[in-house]
Amino acid sequence: MADNENIPTEGKGIGKGETNIEICCGSLRGEIRDIGVEVKDLMADSFFDAPGEMFPGQHGEMKANTMLAFRHLEDARMRLGKVMQQIQGGVSIFDRPGGGKPGAEPGK
């Protein structure tokens, strides 16, 4: 992506518009969320109901690593949100008046 593609457009972000990097980060966050749902769904796979582990603790280890993969995806999603937050002035929506909630009273 060329540097000139990060100029603000109509929308949000530093009060001037949403930048392409914000759009990209937002899109990636959505994709990561969707992948996270699929990874977490692996925990309920019928494979874990089948008898006979190849070695003691096999299924438990597999579930633990699946949950770690999910947590890493959540961390990546949060980090991309932090990129967006820095573009918007470095303040969390929860630190702003109204807490970022539509219709909330300022400071509540």
Is 67 inside any structural domain? Answer: yes
> Which residues are within 8 A (CB) of 10 and not within 5 positions of it... i.e. 6 or more apart?
17, 18
Is 107 inside any structural domain? Answer: no
Q: What range does the domain containing 60 cover?
A: 8-89
C-alpha neighbours within 13 Å on the C-beta side of residue 35:
16
Give the integer Cα–Cα distance in Å for 78 and 5. 24
The model's pTM:
0.68
Q: How confident is the model over 13-23, as a mean pLDDT? A: 70
Is 75 inside any structural domain? Answer: yes
How many domains does the chain fold into? 1
Is 73 inside any structural domain? Answer: yes
Is 2 inside any structural domain? Answer: no
Is 97 inside any structural domain? Answer: no
Is 100 inside any structural domain? Answer: no
Residue 60: pLDDT over 90: yes
Is 99 inside any structural domain? Answer: no
- Closest to 19 measured CA to CA, from 93, 87, 86: 87
- Quickly state the pLDDT bin for 108 (edges 50, 70, 90): very low
